[in-house]
Amino acid sequence: MARYGPGEGYSYTYADGLEPFMGTYVAGPGGDVCVMFESGRGRCDTYVEAGGRMVLIIADGTRFPVRSRTPMAP
């Protein structure tokens, strides 16, 4: 589960619930969001509206439906 929080905080937790990967994000034009992880690695993805739903498109073109829009605690 990806979470974008206040102050550009970001976390990603795999379904197994182990420790999250932490980082920061920057939102750009056209739904682009770039994440820089604490490990030094980074990636940019795009969010779009498709068929009335929010969809995440990663660099290789794979699409993931956004399940919820719940704010991350500060």
Tens digit of pLDDT per residue, the chain (74 long)? 888 887 889 998 888 878 899 999 999 988 999 999 999 999 999 999 988 889 999 989 999 898 876 655 55
Count of C-beta atoms within a 10 Å radius of residue 28: 10
The answer to whether position 7 is within a domain reads yes
User: 4 - beta bridge partners?
Assistant: 10
The answer to whether position 11 is within a domain reads yes
The answer to whether position 23 is within a domain reads yes
pLDDT at residue number 38 = 95
pLDDT at residue number 62 = 94
Query: Domain span at residue 37?
Result: 2-65
The answer to whether position 72 is within a domain reads no
Q: Nearest CA to 1 among 35, 10, 51, 30?
A: 10
- What is the edge-to-edge ordering of all strands in the sheet holding 42-50? 2-4, 9-12, 21-27, 32-37, 42-50, 53-57, 63-65
The answer to whether position 52 is within a domain reads yes
pLDDT at residue number 2 = 84
- Report the domain count for the chain: 1
Q: What is the helix (H) or strand (E) element at residue 11, kind and residue range?
A: strand 9-12
pLDDT at residue number 73 = 57
